[in-house]
Amino acid sequence: MLKTNKSSQGPVLILLGPPGAGKGTQARYLVMHANLYHLSTGDLLRHAVSKKTPAGIIAKKAMENGDLVSDELVLEILSFRLSEIGESGGVILDGFPRTLTQATMLDNLLATRSQAVSFVISLNVDDDQIITRISGRFSCANCNTGYHDIFQPTEVNGVCDKCGSNNFVRRADDNIDAISTRLAAYNLETAPLISHYNARGLLKSIDASKNIENVSKEIQSAISEITEAITQ
């Protein structure tokens, strides 16, 4: 899975979708089945904020409000992480690109690594479900595994399935004010990427309102379809 015969470089898969659509959840499923790195710009930025790095200090306010961080700052943080991965590593991008400018920046950055965007999966969910998903989201403070109060609880109450930690966190921006700002930013800045990648023949849209397992199956079959089309 997730290999094209056009190049020895690792594939670059973009998960596109509004906040709370399930990008992080699906990325974590995909990395269990494929030799890929999961790169979430939201996670990278939250780490920078918690460490109070210069980038984190700049990003903090915009993130709390639900606004986008500047294209340049996000690119800087992503390029650094990509350089750590090494030149042939395949990646799943979650939360990047989020603007047309970032899409161009990404093409340029990948070209320096002899890589290119391989596929884009767009996860479609309506606003009501987004709010339900985001309102119940929490994650392990130790290993960052994501959960949901109703849809994806821990197997044992209060204990992380993956690392056994008892510490969980909820995101500061998972509140109703920031959610509406984030949805507006998605509709204005990010949604145009759907037609951008569709025009390049790289996009597959998925109905992400189904349960986690069914969305995962749909993503895997979409990837197989696109891989076949690319390698024919």
| 186 sits near ligand AMP (criterion: CB under 6 A) | no
- Residue closer to ligand ADP by CB (options 19, 97) is 19
Q: 23 catalytic, yes or no?
A: yes
| 152 sits near ligand ADP (criterion: CB under 6 A) | yes
Cα–Cα distance, 227 to 77 (Å, whole number) = 29
| 56 sits near ligand AMP (criterion: CB under 6 A) | no
| 21 sits near ligand ADP (criterion: CB under 6 A) | yes
Q: 217 catalytic, yes or no?
A: no
Residue 116 tokens, joined: 């290119």
> CB-side exposure of 173: number of CA atoms within 13 Å?
23
| 18 sits near ligand AMP (criterion: CB under 6 A) | no
Report, in Å, the least distance between residue 201 CB and ligand ADP: 24
- Residue closer to ligand ADP by CB (options 71, 94) is 94
Cα–Cα distance, 74 to 18 (Å, whole number) = 18
| 194 sits near ligand ADP (criterion: CB under 6 A) | no
Closest C-alpha among 191, 161, 140, 144 to residue 21 = 191
DSSP state of 75: H
Q: 170 catalytic, yes or no?
A: no
| 212 sits near ligand ADP (criterion: CB under 6 A) | yes
Closest C-alpha among 136, 158, 140 to residue 149 = 136
One symbol per residue from 22 to 61: x for binding ligand ADP (CB under 6 A), - otherwise; what is it? xxxx------------------------------------
Q: Which of 10, 17, 22, 42 binds ligand AMP (CB under 6 A)?
A: 42
Residue 157: burial class (beta carbons within 10 Å; 0-12, 13-18, 19+): exposed
Catalytic annotation, pick one of 28, 113, 133, 182: 182
Q: 46 catalytic, yes or no?
A: no
Q: Do residues 171 and 64 touch, judged by C-beta distance below 8 A?
A: no
One symbol per residue from 98 to 137: x for binding ligand ADP (CB under 6 A), - otherwise; what is it? -----------------------------------x--xx
Closest C-alpha among 142, 166, 163, 126 to residue 134 = 126
Residue 220 tokens, joined: 């895997």
Q: 6 catalytic, yes or no?
A: no
Q: Which of 2, 10, 13, 17 binds ligand ADP (CB under 6 A)?
A: 17
Per rule CB under 6 A, count of chain residues that contact ligand ADP: 20
Residue 5: burial class (beta carbons within 10 Å; 0-12, 13-18, 19+): exposed
Q: Do residues 64 and 178 touch, judged by C-beta distance below 8 A?
A: yes
The residues assigned a catalytic role are 23, 98, 137, 171, 182
